[in-house]
Amino acid sequence: MKTGILASFANRISLPDLSLAPTERLTPARLRIELLAGLTVALALVPEAVAFAFVAGVHPLVGLYAAFLVGLVTALIGGRPGMISGATGALAVVMVSLVAEHGVEYLFATVVLMGVLQLLAGVMQWGKFIRLVPHPVMLGFVNGLAIVIFLAQMSQFKVPGSVENTGHGMGGGEWLSGLPLYLMLGLTALTMTIIWVMPRISKTVPAPLVGIGVVAALVIGLGLDVPRVGDMASIQGGLPPFHIPAVPLTLETFQIILPYAVILAAIGLIESLLTLNLVGEMTGQRGGASQECIAQGAANLLTGFFGGMGGCAMIGQSMINVKSGARTRVAGIAAALFLLVFILFAAPLIELIPLAALVGVMFMVVIGTFAWNSIRILARVPRMDAFVILLVTVVTVLEDLAVAVVVGVIVSALAYAWNNARRIHARSYVTPEGARVYQVQGPLFFGSSDGFVELFDIEGDPSVVVVDFADSRVVDQSALQAIEAVAGKYEAAGKTLQLRHLSRDCHRLLQKAGHLMIDSDDDPDYELAVDYGVRTGILGGH
């Protein structure tokens, strides 16, 4: 399925080999690729950081400082070389109500607490739970995020200064029309064409950087009147100042910021870990989830003390970075440092870059991010998987990423539980001695416990009944309760029930009921392997 997500974009622009080892020695040629990729990413970060600062209702420098600090820290110690982090819209739409009601200082305090929570998640190794996200949810995630990235670019086709603060850039404001609109569309299309054609001519410089450079030179040289980065806001500023959030250190303050911090931490980790998985597919890397949690936490903790709005992984910029050939931490570090240089020294030059060039780059990211193959496979995969793909895509666009992923995981889990609940059945036969044997097949858990009880003919069975679990699994307490319920019914009928092929842990729990006869002659002493090496009495296995 990897090709389904990535092949469309990779085939179009023939970018560098994605199988390149991320630990390759840093030769001059490799360093050049990393630095140019970092420069390309830094240019794409500027309008995003400014736009998301507007969404959150804070000064543009608050977004730019977050992009610099979060990007730098996660590039240094993150779980996946090649990932790019910064201020994101998913977090900004949560922050806007906090800033509106309590002010920016409470936002800084919230970002600090958000970082602490993410650090705890990393220390507790909760990042590994991202493996519970099914592949249909991943497909819905990338599709929804591609649409969100596309919608976010729509605000650039409106008259500068007329766009309202919205999460997806589709708020009020006047659309460009006439010649300005045609120029914007033409320059965007030109940028996309250059990105598509350039790799066929030369791969010395990343194609997105060439597209930005050519279109910027054309606009500046001809003096074309089109929206530019400087029309959004000035990015001129100094070094991020150390600043302790000016909020009262009271329980009331904690009660205000805690709900926001929990939501922001969850959204940030979910988006970061899903991006980590996606970049891992592209570069052939594995692991690093807990390290990424720690990196995100440290980055946000630091950012809150330096006037930044916090952030998380950015799939669009990460795609630009990896597809530009970056495979080490150098590109991410370079992107953050280039961004700081823009703020300190090069703001007048960067502000001249036409937004159409950056929109063209992001449109190519959209094309490469969307899992086009998922459209073709919708009719071939199980209907529930197809439904989950569409559901997560729609919820990502209409709500946010965290809600979409949680909804997708819950629906997938319920579908899995239902399918397994219907698998419980038994084959029965009568032994020469006159005992009836039920060979239970399928997992026995809360979803199938009622079906398990219905398998038995209490009144019609002989005086001795054997239940064989060799082809089953006793999973949870509901399963044990179901077994006890069946045993109680047989006892009330004056009949003997024997259980075979249960683990010793299940033996001990069931014998506490006092009315079960365990046939231990053919029951080996099964051991249970549980995460962290902890043995539990409510899980059965063999």
Nearest to 191 by CA among 365, 325, 342: 365
Tell me the CA distances in angstroms from 116 to 46, 105, 384, one per residue in order: 27, 17, 38
Report the pLDDT value the prediction gives residue 514, as an integer from 0 to 100.
Answer: 53
Report the pLDDT value the prediction gives residue 89, as an integer from 0 to 100.
Answer: 84
Report the pLDDT value the prediction gives residue 512, as an integer from 0 to 100.
Answer: 61
Other C-beta atoms within 10 Å of 194: how many? 22
Report the pLDDT value the prediction gives residue 402, as an integer from 0 to 100.
Answer: 78
What are the extents of the domains in the chain?
A: 36-156+171-233+245-412, 422-533
Q: What is the mean pLDDT of the chain?
A: 85
Q: Residues 203-248: pLDDT tens digits?
A: 888 999 999 999 999 999 999 999 999 988 899 999 999 999 999 9
* pTM as predicted: 0.77
Q: From the centroid of its chain, how far is CA 218?
A: 38
What DSSP string runs through 454-505? TT--TTTS-SEEEEEEEEEEE-SHHHHHHHHHHHHHHHHTT-EEEEES--HH
Q: Residues 158-178: pLDDT tens digits?
A: 886 544 444 444 455 688 899
The series of mean pLDDT values per 10 residues for the chain, 542 residues long, is 39 37 71 95 92 89 96 95 91 90 96 97 90 88 87 84 47 80 96 94 90 95 93 92 95 96 92 90 84 96 96 92 92 97 95 93 89 89 93 90 88 89 89 92 89 92 91 84 88 89 69 52 39 32 38
Q: For Cα atoms 326, 332, 334, give the angle at the middle one, nearest 5 degrees.
A: 100
Contact present, 324 and 209 (Cβ < 8 Å): yes
May I ask the CATH class of domain 422-533?
alpha beta
Nearest to 264 by CA among 114, 441, 423: 114
Report the pLDDT value the prediction gives residue 158, as an integer from 0 to 100.
Answer: 84
Report the pLDDT value the prediction gives residue 520, as an integer from 0 to 100.
Answer: 44
Tell me the CA distances in angstroms from 7 to 110, 149, 273, 361, 379, one per residue in order: 40, 19, 22, 18, 20
Report the pLDDT value the prediction gives residue 130, as an integer from 0 to 100.
Answer: 83
Residue with tokens 């006869």, as numbered in its chain: 517
